[in-house]
Structure 1
Amino acid sequence: MKTKLSIAILTSLLALSPAAHANFSVNVGAINVNPDNDGSKINEAPTLGLKGDSDTQLGITVDYAFNDQWVLELIAATPFSHDVEGTGGLAGNKIADIKHLPPSLVAQYHFLDSSYALRPFVGVGINYTTFFDEQPSAALKATLGTNDVEVKLDDSFGFVAQVGANYKIDEKWGLHAMVSIMDIDTDAIVYANGAKALTSTVSLDPVVAMFGLKYSF
């Protein structure tokens, strides 16, 4: 009876061993957000639009490997800052400064196997972007004729598509590179003296690129 119980326990432990030895890794490096800007219009006017500049921050991603092929990645970074300027009839006019955080969760499929040093991957996932610390420009305040101006951007949910590669230097250290396209759409509202003055649907849809070091536990 004891022998059968011991065999059963050993079998259970062997079955659980992949989960017990889950592979975690952390990637740290430079991450750049470059907005697309093509779809941002003010008050639905085709000749008035907005664009944001690119920004590079410290990127940190955490990977959890379910097995040799499937990995779940959490993408995070220090806050991104963008100057928002007008386009079309508003070209050359700074509208606001904004900050945002776009954490994303991506399921990746890694090609080849762990014996290869260079392993490309593809991924799809979801993104949540939160905007904060929106600051109207002096030019916008002058245009609206008041210093009582607020700019508000709604938070956004969207999809993520990703390609990239990892290069293994040794069992612990490596290099990590990825490029993602994020679906980030938000409604921007400008208030003057507490009343709604301008509205805009902003489609950032940025290309996000990261390169850095990888450390596996």
Structure 2
Amino acid sequence: MKKSAIAASVVLGLLATPAMAEFNADNFSVNVGAISVMPDDSSSSLNVVESLAGLPAGTTGVNVNTNTQLGLTFDYKLNTNWTLELVAATPFSHDVYATGALAGLKVGKVKHLPPTLLAQYHFDLANDAIDPFVGFGVNYTTFFDEQASSELVGALTGLGAVTASDSVTLALKDSWGYALQAGVNVAISDNWGLHFMVSKMDIDTDADVRINNATAQRVNVDIDPYVAMAGIRYRF
């Protein structure tokens, strides 16, 4: 959280610069393309389920699969070297699976949006067509449309934890974290170009399995994905 607070302070400081106060549409660009979230995840164990199933402690966990969506990023050039970028996308949808002793058990599905604001430093090269950059900033991830799988409900029913009349749901806590980025813009003409970037995002959440709206199992999940995008760039 400390790193994300520092990143947010720097980005907000750039937002307060005179260049932002005097908005110029000629400094605005948009990038559209495929964007993938590739989790580099780890988690705490499903300790309650382990106890019910008679499994050794610490032998389970959860992971999240990769998903690709339509990415849309907006750039505003502050000066020769500094640019602000807002990363957006259509909602990502991920399947959540158990690992270890419960490997293969589908826990559920979840959707999320991870809007990210970055300050980019662009290197001043002799070649005007190639524009490499690095970035740092802050990410906010909101989770929604969480659904427990029928496999999870069946497993809990088999263990005697729930009955057919019980409601089993998932709930994930929203996350704040830092984001790091590197990439390159390639100019094709005065207005058109290509955009490539890869980011590392700090996304941590608590995932709850709830029975009749009461938390029965909580797992801390560090999703911490790599995010990659390749797209078309248009400069106004």
Normalising by the smaller structure, the TM-score range is 0.7 to 0.9
Structure 1 CA distance for aligned equivalents of residues 92 and 126 of structure 2: 34
Q: Structure 1 stretches of 5 or more lacking a match?
A: 1-14
- Residue 7 of structure 1 is matched in structure 2 by none
Structure 1 CA distance for aligned equivalents of residues 46 and 74 of structure 2: 38
Deviation at 1:27, TM superposition (A): 0.2
- Residue 188 of structure 2 is matched in structure 1 by 169
Structure 1 CA distance for aligned equivalents of residues 205 and 228 of structure 2: 21
- Residue 59 of structure 2 is matched in structure 1 by 47
- Residue 37 of structure 1 is matched in structure 2 by 41
Superposed, which structure 2 residues align to 1:112-127 within 5 Å? 112-113=124-125, 116-127=128-139
3-state SS of the aligned residue for 2:154? helix
Deviation at 1:43, TM superposition (A): 3.7
2:201 equivalent to 1:182: yes
Deviation at 1:203, TM superposition (A): 0.6
Structure 1 CA distance for aligned equivalents of residues 126 and 47 of structure 2: 53
3-state SS of the aligned residue for 1:46? coil
Deviation at 1:40, TM superposition (A): 4.5
* Candidates 130, 137, 146, aligned match of 2:142: 130
3-state SS of the aligned residue for 1:187? strand
1:144/1:192 contact within 8 Å kept: no
Superposed, which structure 2 residues align to 1:54-73 within 5 Å? 54-73=66-85
3-state SS of the aligned residue for 1:186? strand
Deviation at 1:194, TM superposition (A): 3.0
Change (3 A) 1:39 1:66: same
Deviations 1:169-216 (A, max 9, x none): 111000000000000000011111333211100110000000000000
Structure 2 CA distance for aligned equivalents of residues 179 and 20 of structure 1: 27
* Candidates 102, 111, 124, aligned match of 2:123: 111
- Residue 199 of structure 1 is matched in structure 2 by 218
1:40/1:51 contact within 8 Å kept: no
2:119 equivalent to 1:102: no
Q: TM-score, normalised by structure 2?
A: 0.81
The alignment-based identity, stated in percent, is: 54
Deviations 1:108-131 (A, max 9, x none): 000025852111100000000000
3-state SS of the aligned residue for 1:41? coil
- Residue 12 of structure 1 is matched in structure 2 by none
Q: Letter of the aligned partner of 2:123 in structure 1?
A: F
Change (3 A) 1:70 1:195: same
Change (3 A) 1:191 1:115: same
2:43/2:63 contact within 8 Å kept: no
Output the aligned Cα RMSD.
2.0
1:154/1:186 contact within 8 Å kept: yes
Q: Structure 2 stretches of 5 or more lacking a match?
A: 1-17, 49-56, 158-162
Higher-Rg structure is 1
